[in-house]
Amino acid sequence: MAENNTLTLKNKQKTKLTGKKVWPYIFIAPFFIIYIAFNFYPLIDTFIISLYSWDGFGEKTFIGFENYRNIFTTDPYFLMSIKNTLIFMAGDIPVVLIGGILLAAVLNSKSLKGRTFFQTVAFLPYLTISVAIGVLFSLLFDWNQGTVNKILLQLGIIDKGINWLGDPKLARLTTIMMVCWKYIGYHMVFFNAGITGIDTELYEAADVDGAGAVTKFFKITIPLLRPTWEFLLVMNIIWGFQFFDEPKNLFSSWASTSGGTGVIGGPQRSCLTAIWNLYDTAFGTQMKYGKAAAEAYGLAIFICAFSIGTLMILKATRHDD
């Protein structure tokens, strides 16, 4: 307010400075207004809902922390869905990160021709509409008619079709393969961009010292790509907990011409992800809004633990700045 007075006085320089000070707040305002209205407010409201027993439409009954007690003790699916989500993350994150970095290294090798072609092809899965990915994999990995079993049979690798989507362990494996397929090219593009940014003189100097390709990869490429893989690792943990579209469509009845309803969470719910479970609790087969809200906050505990844990490990292992 005091500044307003000086502003009206005379000092032109001062006017300009005040104007400058206001602009950044105006620039960030749209983000905060929308975020608070549609994310922050519902996030708080979700906590309040989690203390009630509510079907979303009728009377609310206050039950305190009963929903939380329920999901952590008696409900069979909440902790299972967290476990499944973590299994998927443990299965796919190393593959997409390590695979992505190796592919980028190959892609950047001087001896390789057709770089743009390979980059585009590897990026295609990311550009396939995610509904289609689940459906496509359910067709490819179908027990009786799927192309994968047919190829394996013809090659003589197996003598009986594998029930990819019917066995809990294999269903998880298929889901992990599906995620890797979708994201490995995406990671390759990021790592490739990072490698392009590395000074080629470093590699030339290493050549002079007689370093082999493997040494150069571990001593130059990996350390200098650290910002890229740190970024992708953290993003993968965030994305991993949100996993929903693809498994939901992998186990829907969409592709079966015989009909029947989709299985929730795949065989024995082995592929029920945390978000799928939340969705199912409130909007799928049950209408338990309070319980689903509690599941959201239960999941938040795991997300915070894993994100903060990862950030701390990354910080501790960083050598220079």
Segment 25-64, which members bind other proteins (CB under 8 A)?
A: 25, 27-28, 30-32, 34-35, 37-39, 41-46, 48-49, 56
Find out whether 192 and 119 touch, Cβ atoms under 8 Å. yes
Long-range contacts (CB closer than 8 Å, 24 or more residues apart) made by 163-166: 165/138, 165/141, 165/250, 165/251, 165/266, 165/267, 166/267
Compute the least distance from the CB of residue 204 to other proteins, in Å. 17
Closest by CA position to 247, among listed 170, 320, 317, 179: 179
Count CA atoms within 13 Å of residue 73 on its CB side. Answer: 6
Q: Residue holding tokens 């602009």?
A: 23
Q: Of the listed pieces 6-14, 70-78, 163-171, 282-290, which binds other proteins according to CB under 8 A?
A: 282-290
Q: For residue 253, count other CB atoms closer than 10 A to its CB.
A: 13
Compute the least distance from the CB of residue 64 to other proteins, in Å. 18
Does residue 271 interact with other proteins by CB under 8 A? no
Cα angle 280, 286, 287; round to 5: 105
Does residue 297 interact with other proteins by CB under 8 A? yes
- State which of residues 93, 176, 250, 275 lies at the interface with other proteins (CB under 8 A): 275
Q: Which of positions 186-205 make contact with other proteins (CB under 8 A)?
A: 189-190, 193-194, 196-197
Q: Of the listed pieces 1-9, 66-74, 75-83, 296-304, which binds other proteins according to CB under 8 A?
A: 296-304
CA 18 → CA 5, 10, 138, distances in Å?
Answer: 11, 13, 61
Six-digit token string for 238: 């965030």
Strand partners, 53: 61
Whichever of 82 and 140 has its CB closer to other proteins, that residue is 140
- State which of residues 3, 11, 14, 21 lies at the interface with other proteins (CB under 8 A): 21
- State which of residues 4, 5, 257, 317 lies at the interface with other proteins (CB under 8 A): 257
Q: Which of positions 94-153 make contact with other proteins (CB under 8 A)?
A: 103, 106-107, 109, 111-114, 117-133, 135-137, 139-140, 145, 147, 150-151
Q: State how far the Cα of 125 lies from the Cα of 313, in Å rounded to an integer.
A: 31
Compute the least distance from the CB of residue 11 to other proteins, in Å. 16
Give the interface size with other proteins as a residue count (CB under 8 A): 103
Q: Which of positions 210-249 make contact with other proteins (CB under 8 A)?
A: 226-228, 230-231, 235, 238, 241-242, 244-245, 248-249
Q: Of the listed pieces 77-85, 89-97, 263-271, 273-281, which binds other proteins according to CB under 8 A?
A: 273-281
Compute the least distance from the CB of residue 124 to other proteins, in Å. 6
